[in-house]
Structures are given as C-alpha cells and as structure tokens.
Amino acid sequence: MVQKIIRKLSYGWRLLATGFSFVSFGAGGLLLWLLVFPVLSVLPGSRLQRISRGQRVVHASFYFFIGLMHRIGIMTYEVNGLEKLNRPGQLIIANHPTLVDIVFLISRVRQANCIVKHSLWRNPFMRGPILNAGYISNGDPEKMIADCVAWLQSGGTMIIFPEGTRSVPGKPCRFQRGAAAIALQANKTVTPVTLSCYPGTLTKAEPWYQIPERRFHLAMQVGEDIALDEFTPIQPKSIAVRRFNRYLQDYFTQQRERYKDYGK
C-alpha cells in the first residue's frame, strides 16, 4: 500500500515536472530572442562570428535544460564516445526516437548547425534561436542540401536526423535521402550516433503528458566514422546516394535493435 502511494506521488511529481520543463523551454527560447540575442547582434564581428556566438548560446542553454530535467527527476542519461564528436567539418547522423533528441545532441556539441522544419521559423519560442544560430530551413530541398554542404566544407559541424521526424516504435528506419546526398557531396567526416530511450516517451504522435511509469533513460552511443570510399566513385551520383542511404538505414535499424532496452 505504501509503495503504491509512493509510486503515485512520484508519477504526479514527474507529470508536473514534465509540464514545467515544456513551459521553461518555451520561455527560455522567448527570453533568448528578446534579451540575449539582441545584445549579441550588436557585438562586432562577421556574420559567421555572430552565428558562432548564437550556436554557443543555444548549446549552453540546451545543456542547462538537460541538466534541469535530470535534476528534477524526469530523466537520466549517459553518453558513450563523446570524444569522437566536436570535430571541424563533421556530419553527425542520428536516429530520432524522442522529442528530446536534438536538444540532447546540441547540448553535447559545442557548435553545430542543423536542419529545422520551415514551419518552426514562425514559432515565437523557436524563432530567436533558429535565426541567430544560422540553422538551415528544409523549405527548399535543393537549397537545403547546398547550404549544408557549404557549411561542412567551410569546417562547420552539422547534425542531421535522416528520418525527418521521430521514429515509429517497432518499425524499421525509413530515411530520406537528403543526409546521404549531403554526406557524399561534402565528402567530410561522417559520424553515426545511436540514441535510445527507455522507457519510450515523447515519441511520434504521443502527447507530452503521457509519461512512463518511471524516469526515462536517454543513452547516446557514438559510433566509428563511416568511410565514404565505397560510395563516392559510384556513378551516377543518384545511385550512390540511394546505396549510401540504404546503408544508413540498415546500420541504424541494427543499432536501434541492439540498444532498444538500454537502461532497462
């Protein structure tokens, strides 16, 4: 009886804490837009320097947010292979099991660009970080690919989720070809990152208040760099992209199965 009451109290606290986290995230994005980024914008420097400052601010704020979720008892986490990240000209390709993925990854990569849905550019809570960090819109696919390639070739770091949206639990990975095309055109370092979340939460079409019975555990496994030598000579390039995309799908499907109960 006592244990049942404790479980209910714990569940109620985590539900309130989850709601608080969502409110804090939105409020934080709005405050950055209204108070922090206007100050950064008047500091001297080129456009790339302003973007660099913006990305570092987003990194720091996301690092704080993940720490907040951990401290108030919503989640636990672990990172294996962090030393393989934070390299110039690195394309980080990751699967996308939960809503927290991009926040968690950026909190561990000091300075990174990423692709965002075009609709988020009109979101008042996200617009500030998106614009000031120089993130790339998916509104025009050809321009998106060209911008990502240019960023990587200039020595910048990119984070891409090839699924384009959160994974469907229990189904194989289905990747869009944009990430494969960017990787082969840029011909830079490609590093896979496998994310696993147990118990599953904040998945596709799952409301925020549908929380698991206990804290969820988010694990990040950084894999070895993927060699592109097997794919870059293939002609035409459309076939190379298709084959590399299939390789990525198979890799992440296997990795996701390997780590599906990680933290159980």
Q: What is the pLDDT of residues 29-56, one digit of tens each?
A: 888 888 888 888 888 888 888 999 999 9
Treating both helix axes as pointing N-terminal to C-terminal, what angle do 237-258 and 178-186 enclose, rounded to 10 degrees? 120
What pLDDT digit, counting tens, does each position of 70-87 carry?
999 999 999 999 999 999
Place of tokens 């639990």: 169
Cβ proximity of 83 and 151 under 8 Å: no
Per-domain residue ranges of the chain? 2-258
What pLDDT digit, counting tens, does each position of 154-179 carry?
999 999 999 887 777 777 778 999 99
**Residue 140, phi then psi, degrees to nearest 5:** -120, 105
Cβ proximity of 250 and 191 under 8 Å: no
Q: How far apart are CA 53 and CA 33, in angstroms?
A: 14
Close Cβ partners of 161 (under 8 Å, ≥ 6 residues apart): 93, 94, 95, 96, 101, 102, 115, 179
Predicted TM-score (pTM) above 0.85: yes
Query: 171 is written with which tokens?
Result: 């189904």
Cβ proximity of 184 and 226 under 8 Å: no
- Report pLDDT for 194: 95
- Report pLDDT for 57: 94
Q: How far apart are CA 67 and CA 26, in angstroms?
A: 16
Place of tokens 């050809």: 142
CATH architecture of 2-258: 3-Layer(aba) Sandwich (3.40)
Confidence of residue 241 (pLDDT cuts 50, 70, 90): very high
Mean pLDDT in the chain?
89
Q: How far apart are CA 181 and CA 136, in angstroms?
A: 16
- Report pLDDT for 115: 92
Strands, E, within the chain: which ranges? 75-80, 90-94, 113-116, 136-137, 158-160, 189-198, 216-222
Q: For the residues 234-244, what does the mean pLDDT come to?
A: 95
Place of tokens 């390639």: 149
**Is the confidence at residue 201, as pLDDT, over 90?**
no
The answer to whether the Cα torsion of 135, 137, 141, 142 is positive or negative is negative
What pLDDT digit, counting tens, does each position of 112-127 carry?
999 988 888 777 777 7
